[in-house]
Structure 1
Amino acid sequence: MGQTSGAGPDFRTTGGRVRGRRSVDGVVAVLGVPYAAPPFGPHRFRGPRPAPGWSGTRDGTDFGPVAPQSARLPGAPVWRPGDEDVLTVNVWVPEEREGGPLPVLFWIHGGAYTFGSSAQPDYDGSALARAGLVVVSCNYRTGFEGFGHVPGFPDNRGLLDQVAALRWVRENIAAFGGDPAAVTVAGHSSGAGSVACLMAMEQARGLFRGAIAHSVPSAFFTPAVAAALTSRIAGGAGVAPTAEGLLSASPGRLVAACDEVARQCADDPATAVQAYEPVLFQPVLDGEVLPVDPLRALATGACRDVGLLVCHTLEEYWFLHEIAGVREVTTESGLLEFAAALGVPARLVAGYRALRPGAPVLDRYLALFGDARFGEYSSRLAEHHARAGGRAYLSRFARRRRTPGGGTRPWHTADVPFAFGNLDADGAAFLIGAVPDDEDRALSRRMLRAWADFAAHGDPGWPAVTAEATPVQAWAVPDDHLTDDAASGVRALWRGVPFEPYETSPAAGR
């Protein structure tokens, strides 16, 4: 966050008083406030429990510990064995404000449901607070602690943590100058997937009026897949795949076992697509916490009273390839094998070849993967919501720049520092592909304004999707432009292709 200038004011919460820190940019940040009890010991693998209160004034000048994980992200804390108070929220409040309570933006970080934290520098809420919002972010259980299947315990514990954090907002945000009746949930990647899940969950009903989802993944597990992965992870940890066995394994032991199982997925995936992208955790369609895929839920009118703003980038998977997060495919036969593993018709392979004549196989593979995982699913969420009577807006991040290295790509994560106004944050230059220039800064101001206007008024500034048309705001430099998906060859290719939860691979029982 920006330079600090000293201790900030006190705020009274249901748990006790907390004091944040004041920045020179006119924002007070209150960090690391517990919204639920530490989810370990007798509370491990259970739903979130109320946080214990405290006496005196709690120091809120540092982020709370992150959930168990092995990731080391630029500028963010790392998990250390023994860190247990991982269910905390952070609040950014503008010091100068006029009139009544401010709209609230509640941010859910991404990280493949496996890693990440609210303390990542590109998620600092100061710029959005200066735009007239109260910004809240939360840590929640990721990896096995949050999304692993444990017999006799609830699935989707990470989603239940997010609901508990939203309830904390409802009960406490007025003390920070926020309006509990004007909450917009927002997230990117698995954070956007979480936003979509919250729209489908009865437990989250009434806790927010707007939703912003950037790069929503089309990835959900059946209970059978979740159980198969638990068996593998338990085996890697040397314990039985039972509640008793899993409880006996320390969080660190399970993190190590998950890392090893992920490494094995290239040769022995639990679901066929894991051979190409070894992500072990997705929301589980358990029939209870998450009764149905959000795409189907929105198509039936679930949450039609919640406004929805969706965005995805044009070249999502080039980023995952850049960080070696996906297996390479460079032959035509390999591309057909990938389509089969992904569960999409072979005609899509021919369609992408026609749309990208002369493009290398790798480029067509990354385009197909990105549209399958993020682009088409995100677009359909907006369309299904609109056709069921909801208000939805769709945008795509299309910004490209020439650079000495060749040029930037509109890839996965590049849009987030722009929307937060954090182009100079630690690590942001890598995420956006270049050191920001004046045109980038102007684009960032436009995207941040769209988020703020949507959170405040439900309208980001371009036409909504309707039952008849899908207008799309394309974020670009030097200028944005409006397009219509009626003319999109990519969208036409995907017409009629269903999205289904993953099933176990034929090799899963080996």
Structure 2
Amino acid sequence: MTRRGRFLGRAVQTAAGQSGVDVFLGIRYAEPPFGPRRFAAPVRTDFAGACTRFGPIAPQSAELPGAPVWRPGDEDVLSLNVWAPSAAEGNPVLLYLHGGAYTYGSSAQPDYDGVHLARAGLVVVTCNYRLGFEGFGHVEGHPDNRGLLDQVAALHWVRDEIAAFGGDPENITVAGQSAGAGSALFLADASRAVRRVIAHSVPNRCYTGGFARRVARWIDPTTPESAVVSADALARAQRSGPLGHDPVLFGPVADRLPVPPADVPLLLCHTTAEYRLFDRTGTVASVRTDAEYAAFGRAFAFPPHVVAGYRELFATPSEAYLALLGDHVFTEPTTRLAQARGAPLARFSRPPAWHAADVPFAFGTLAGADFLIGGPPGPAEHALSRRVLASWVGFARTGDPGWAGVRWWGEEVDVSTTRALWRGVDLDVPVDFPVSGIGARRPRRAP
């Protein structure tokens, strides 16, 4: 066991020659957001005591490999975790926000174990925040974007408490992937406590207030469980329009993704085959014929030359579909942000190069990530992981990842043709899609 101020954690045993790491899991940073606090802004709490287990995760139906699942009755969901070098003081701090379409995921996923980054000299913090309807659903009389408010509360906890763990509260980098990357941009826009931002696979997903209200009509908010069940049913009911292809119902209600202040350096990355993951896991619609591909293009109102251009470049309608959707949601927004800020941009092309395949390489958590990285890691994978991890550490220390411009993690591929197709296309358009109902609307009672 090890103690940092009023927090009692555990020391990680290390191999010879490795730096020691102290781990503190399940630290409450805010009161449980249920009962009279449900759908309200987070309320800070001063936690003390043993921190040896991950806290409960936010309400969701997902069951992710190696991670805990949410059970009705789990309410103390606003917690964070700290990995700290055992000896040094004044270390750079990395606050990591998990992804999951603003609907699922947690800080307890094995990919996000911070021990390797801590051994390299960072104080690593991961946190849970409200997801789905609890975090981003519209509830009359309550604040929108409650999940983002939770993240701000976690950041302020880090600013106030991280010195006890050897961290420098004046040197906080916020990092995230996918929904976590979008969250990191909002967090940097909301608080001057953010020194730098690392954002992998930035999604162009913001939602209008009107869309959030239409979704809320079909949600039963009586309990956290009924909200999850009805949201899942609503997602399954989407058979037409853009949501028929990619039924992500929740996310930040905003006009557009913010660009962090000019004095906040950015480090950006995307994978080169983002949506192949969702095709493999069956979480995106299947498009197999040219007729289905054309209907997809019309549903999203993509410019005809973009739809035709992708089809010419790829051998099958399915490949064109996945490439176009991945570039639209992740690749092009990330690239444009890098260009607008002159920020270093990494393109992760090491097969399978799909969404989130880069995350275990950055954390050094390749062991056990066989599915995500496409098979058991060998010497080449571990060498690549050391390089990606070192870029994060260097950037968090000084703002320099060790390279400038565009860096390829894997073989370089030509993206100039697809990039040219997006020239002049406005991506800063919040989601305002039609929503298909699920039959008779559930009666709504006040939460």
TM-score category, normalised to shorter length = over 0.9
Q: 1:104 touches 1:179 (CA, 8 Å); kept in 2?
A: yes
1:393 counterpart = 2:366: no
1:53 to partner: Cα distance? 4.5
Point out 4+ residue stretches in structure 1 off by more than 3 angstroms: 506-510
| 8 A Cα contact 1:89 1:138, kept in partner | yes
Partner Cα separation in structure 1 for residue 161 and residue 341 of structure 2:
30
Matched, 1:351 2:309: yes
Cα separation, 2, equivalents of 1:164 and 1:343? 38
Shift of 1:308: 0.5
Give the aligned partner of residue 442 of structure 2.
none
Residues 34 and 51 in structure 1, CA contact (< 8 A), matched pair in contact too? yes
Shift of 1:506: 7.9
- For 2:433 and 2:408, the matched residues in 1 are separated by 37
Q: Is the 8 A contact 1:27 1:92 kept in 2?
A: yes
TM-score (norm 1): 0.82
Alpha carbons of 1:506 and 1:23: their partners in 2 closer, same or farther (altered >3 Å)? closer
Contact 1:197/1:293, CA 8 A, preserved across alignment: no
Of 257, 275, 287, 2:244 maps to 275
Deviation of 1:52 (Å): 4.6
**Counterpart for residue 199 of structure 1:** 188
CA contact (8 A) 2:152 2:191 kept: no
**Cα distance in 1 between the residues matched to 2:437 and 2:263:** 41
SS at match of 1:316: coil
Alignment partner, residue 444 of structure 1? 385
CA shift, 1:505, in A, is 1.9
Match of 1:167 in 2: 156
Q: Which residue of 1 aligns with 2:366?
A: 423
Offset at residue 194 of structure 1 (A): 0.8
Deviates more, 1:18-27 or 1:499-508: 499-508
Tell me how far 1:458 sits from its aligned partner: 0.2
Deviation at residue 507 of structure 1 after TM alignment:
5.9
Whether the aligned pair in 2 keeps the contact of 1:224 and 1:504 (CA below 8 Å) is no
Aligned match of 1:228: 214
Question: After superposition, what is the alpha-carbon deviation per residue over 1:127-172, rounded to whole angstroms, capped at 9, x for unaligned?
Answer: 0001110000000001111011101111000000000000000000
Structure 1 equivalent of residue 3 of structure 2: 10
Residue in 1 that maps onto 2:353: 410
TM-score normalised according to structure 2 size: 0.94
Is contact 1:37-1:52 (8 Å) kept? no
Shift of 1:373: 0.7
- SS of match in other structure, 1:341: helix
Q: What does 1:33-432 correspond to in 2, within 5 Å?
A: 33-54=27-48, 58-97=49-88, 100-200=89-189, 204-233=190-219, 237=220, 246=221, 249-267=222-240, 272-285=241-254, 292-294=255-257, 297-298=258-259, 302-356=260-314, 359-386=315-342, 392-400=343-351, 409-425=352-368, 428-432=369-373
The one-character-per-residue Cα deviations of 1:207-244 (angstroms, maximum 9, x if unpaired) are 111001111111111000000000012xxx3xxxxxxx
Preserved contact between residue 313 and residue 412 of structure 1 (Cα < 8 Å): yes
- C-alpha displacement at 1:429, in angstroms? 0.5
Could you report, residue by residue, the CA deviation over 1:391-450 in whole angstroms, capped at 9, with x for unpaired residues?
x211110113xxxxxxxx21011100001000003xx10000111111000000000000
Cα distance change of structure 1 residues 508 and 74 upon mapping to structure 2, 3 Å threshold: closer
Give me the identity figure in percent: 52
- 2:445 is aligned to none
Distance 1:118 1:372 in 2: 27
Deviation at 1:352, TM superposition (A): 1.3
- 1:225-280: per-residue Cα shift (whole Å, max 9, x none)? 000000012xxx3xxxxxxxx3xx1101111111111110125xxxx311001111
1:355 is displaced (CA, Å) by: 2.7
Q: Which runs of 5+ in 1 are unaligned?
A: 1-6, 238-245, 286-291, 387-391, 401-408, 464-470
The offset of 1:496, in angstroms, is: 0.6
Please give the alpha-carbon distance, in whole angstroms, between the structure 2 residues aligned to 1:45 and 1:119: 23
Residue 491 of structure 1 corresponds to 419
Distance, in Å, in 1 between the alignment partners of 2:291 and 2:389 is 43
**Superposition deviation, residue 198 in structure 1:** 2.0
Matched residue of 1:232: which SS?
A: coil
Partner of 2:17: none
CA contact (8 A) 2:10 2:52 kept: yes
CA contact (8 A) 1:336 1:346 kept: no
- Determine the C-alpha separation between the residues in 2 that align with 1:163 and 1:423: 30
* RMSD between superposed Cα atoms in Å: 1.7
* Paired residues of 2:188 and 2:194 also in contact (CA < 8 A): no
For these two proteins, the number of residue pairs brought into alignment is 433
Residue 137 to residue 215, structure 1, CA distance change in 2 (3 Å): same
8 Å CA contact 1:186, 1:212 repeated in 2? yes
d(CA) in 2 for partners of 1:330 and 1:279? 21
Alpha-carbon distance in 1 for matches of 2:435, 2:29: 42
**Which residue matches 1:473?**
407
Give 3-state SS (helix, strand or coil) of 2:106's partner. coil
Distance 1:449 1:368 in 2: 31
For 1:278 and 1:329, locate their aligned partners in 2 and report how far apart those are by CA, in whole Å. 15
Counterpart residue type for residue 444 of structure 1: S
Contiguous gaps of at least 5 residues in structure 2: 15-19, 440-447
